[in-house]
Amino acid sequence: MVETYKRTSNPMMNRPVVKPELVDWMRRSQTQLSGDITKVLTFAKENNIPVIPHETVTYFQMLISIMQPKRILEVGTAIGFSALMMAEAAPSAEIVTIDRNPEMIALAKENLEKYDSRHQIILKEGDAADVLSVLKRDEHKKYDIIFMDSAKSKYIEFLPNALDLLSNNGVILMDDIFQAGEILVPIMEIKRTQRALERGLRRLFDEVFDNPKYITSVLPLGDGLLMIKCR
């Protein structure tokens, strides 16, 4: 089964915008993960399945410790690594995670069954736009942290529903927004197959940057992390 997920290394994971030696220092110097979650991380590395890097993990651990979220929503489960990491950091939180890839869902279910000891994590299968619309119907259930790590071109499309689902003091985090620096390249100089992704990201930036409705911050962690908070 594992062979199904073998792939070449994701170039975005190996082309950090921050100096490589600083990335290496961040990954080596900050507290390392321990326990069962390391088994999930090892599997991801061995099979070249992208998961959030260590510097992003430690940032999430700090943010969760400060915010003490009651509910967390994740768009893009993959094999369940980040959901399990957040569950470990917020042992009393309810975590809902969404994915539509059958292969990733199968692996995530295995990992959640093994390692979600408190049964905190609810895996929703299906297209994120559809699942977000369904979740939005429950007006009494809001999320303190919404983490998006899925199709980057869709972030702008997911944003309205995410905002409706966000608690009053909640934050939205969107991963991999630097695209190894391609956000600085003129759109017509980017490979045709990547242009839809880049256009989606640039629409997102046009919507949230310098918009008085939002407070935003871009963090140079991994391949770029965008934070959005409503004023």
Token pair of 136, please?
């939005």
Q: Which residues are annotated as a binding site?
A: 52, 82, 99, 127-128, 149
Q: Which residues are annotated as a binding site for S-adenosyl-L-methionine?
A: 52, 82, 99, 127-128, 149
Residue that is written with structure tokens 């070249």 in the block: 48
Any bridge partners for residue 122, and if so which? 96
Distance, in Å, from the CA atom of 38 to the CA atom of 57, rounded to the nearest integer, reads 12
